[in-house]
A and B are shown apart, each in its own frame.
Chain A
């Protein structure tokens, strides 16, 4: 169950011609639609500035890798990259660990307030970010004033914020996944003398790896792509890519080729990671969320 199931053919008999043609046409059109912006991104990133600030052209007038060199000096991209990596990485790790604990409790224990907990956590998914942006910011400032822990403007504050963004969905998905791990397994571990945490880490977590990977990917993408809170809660030193990329639209000109090059550079780690882990994602969703 937890491994990726191979293709499951719908029926032993061959598909009819109408189906094959429909599939061919549909998939061709869809591929075009999906690839168009990707092509634009890649080709524009290799064009000289004149090509991208004039009428659109399918083929560059000349290929250049200048944009890929210039992006690092036009804005401090490396620094933003670093900030994004730290923030998204830490948020992912924390979010996954916390979600594992919470999901384990909900999946394996009966306790008062369980329903209230799941309802409350899940309902936060529908809060409009705009409603709690300013209050959250005020809370961070007050915590900072009271305890000296700088949350506002720091990476820590952003990590805290982002990890809670992905937490509800992660917990919910992992509950489903943990439920599908047979209870006999952890009971056996308990009989062997493991504590409940031992059972969690030695039995349940290993069996739930696809679900955990799926959750981690989701958490990372959430943190890597967020714009609104990053635009208010960061400063010069902690600015993330989501905000930093606006820097290519300078007072004088939008350096579209650099924008595209930078977009590509910041996308590659996420896209590559996502595509490498997509097997897990499907498996995780199969066992967790959609059951």
Chain B
């Protein structure tokens, strides 16, 4: 599935770069060197990716087939094979472990959809509103990038401080000053923790959408707007008819990247809630971390991660397949 998807990707690339083949490229060196050079250039990246991503991933997959608990963790390669036991535990939704994983999966899905959607919405709206020059535009643009530039942990720590029950700013404003709630709410435990997590995630993530869409807007030819204006299209209509459709390819990439980052996000919930997240905000990355590290149950933890990876592969594959097909039809 991935192969298909990236075919489209690669084709796009070749076309846009109009690469005329390597044979015509470097002339001086001998044939072997000519053929070897691209591989030589790729070598460092390849070796590192193998070392840090691919080999560990394969090891992780192997571990998922082992009964790797604290009893065998001292020498993982000698741990007994357990076939699909770890997977059975993970997906048996009638048993507590599987049920909890499924719950966490749904929470993560809901969280991801909302967070990506809101980030995209805020990013797009802001980029469009900041498209024209007006006084203070530069300042606002700089300001809006601050959340993205802040290191994750400092931003999340600050939000955790604001979300405290007794002394936090949020309750101070909502309860003490505006009187919107009967009594101070809890944000870091209980059901509201989902809202807290979402708020932090959107606050931190939307500037990236803004940045990318802002860049995308610069690629829209001015002539399009001029033509539309001549046709008598107003501002709102121009946005609907030109800006948004022109952003489609940008959005395609942006949404995918945001989706992967948000779905796999570990830092935000980990810093916000510590090692045990409340049920309502039990994101899958934290859930797997908990399974793995609090109880040293690496076999099951690995199996859960592999399932997560498979899910992401399938979703990404489908997404790319659908979007590239749509793009092809659009091109014709």
A residues within 8 Å of B by Cβ? Answer: 5, 7-13, 15-16, 18-19, 22-23, 26-27, 30-31, 33-38, 40-41, 44, 52-56, 98-99, 101-102, 104-111, 114-115, 117-132, 134-136, 138-139, 160-161, 163-164, 167-168, 171, 175-176, 178-180, 183, 187, 190, 193, 195-196, 199, 221, 224-228, 241-242, 245, 256, 259-260, 263-264, 266-267, 270-271, 274-275, 278, 281-283, 285-286, 289-291
Contacts and interface: CB of A to CB of B under 8 A. Distances in A.
Contact of B238 (A11, A41, A263): A11
B215 A126 contact: no
A132 B53 contact: yes
Contacts of B49: 120-121, 124, 164, 167-168
24 contacts: A8-B220, A9-B132, A9-B133, A10-B225, A10-B238, A26-B126, A31-B143, A37-B155, A37-B158, A98-B45, A102-B42, A111-B38, A111-B39, A114-B10, A126-B312, A135-B59, A135-B63, A139-B55, A179-B13, A190-B27, A225-B267, A263-B158, A275-B149, A281-B211
Q: Sorted from nearest, which 6 A-B pairs have the closest CB atoms?
A: A179-B17, A131-B305, A132-B56, A135-B59, A263-B154, A285-B215
B235 interface: yes
Nearest to B27: A190
Nearest to B3: A119
B152 A11 contact: no
A46 to B, nearest CB: 14
B240 to A, nearest CB: 12
B323 interface: no
Interface of B: 2-3, 6-7, 9-10, 13, 16-23, 25-29, 35, 37-39, 41-42, 44-46, 48-49, 51-57, 59-60, 63, 76, 122, 125-126, 129, 131-133, 137, 140-155, 157-159, 161-162, 166-169, 171-172, 176, 203, 211-212, 214-220, 222, 225-226, 228-229, 234-236, 238, 243, 249-250, 253-254, 257, 260, 264, 266-267, 270-271, 285, 288-289, 292, 298, 301-302, 305-306, 308-309, 312-313, 316
B56 A139 contact: yes
Given A34-B146, A163-B48, A126 B260 contact: yes
A130 B289 contact: yes
Given A108-B19, A132-B57, A40 B169 contact: yes
Contact of A105 (B6, B37, B154): B37
B57 A53 contact: no
A100 B263 CA distance: 29
Contacts of B38: 105-106, 109, 111, 114
Contact of B149 (A130, A259, A271): A271
A110 B321 CA distance: 24
A117 B132 contact: no
Contacts of A54: 167
Nearest to B254: A290
A291 B216 CA distance: 8
Given A9-B132, A118-B6, A164-B48, A196 B143 contact: no
Q: Is the interface of A mostly helix, strand, loop or mixed?
A: helix
Nearest to B63: A135
B150 A135 contact: no
Given A127-B309, A227-B271, 15 more contacts: A7-B132, A30-B126, A34-B146, A53-B167, A98-B44, A99-B45, A102-B42, A130-B292, A135-B56, A164-B49, A190-B28, A225-B151, A259-B157, A275-B149, A282-B215
A122 B16 CA distance: 19
Given A105-B41, A227-B153, A271-B146, A115 B7 contact: yes
Contact of B19 (A55, A107, A118): A107
Q: Which of B143, B159, B298 has the most CB of A within 10 A?
A: B143
A283 B211 CA distance: 10
Given A102-B41, A128-B288, A38 B218 contact: no
Q: Which of A168, A187, A241, A286 has the most CB of B within 10 A?
A: A286
Contact of B150 (A5, A130, A267, A278): A267
Contacts of B132: 7, 9-10, 15
Contacts of A227: 152-153, 266-267, 270-271
B37 A196 contact: yes
B63 to A, nearest CB: 7
Contacts of B217: 8
A251 to B, nearest CB: 15
A11 B26 CA distance: 46
Contacts of B308: 128, 131
B127 to A, nearest CB: 10
B203 A33 contact: yes
Contacts of B41: 101-102, 104-105
B21 to A, nearest CB: 5
Contact of B22 (A110, A119, A260): A110
Nearest to A41: B158
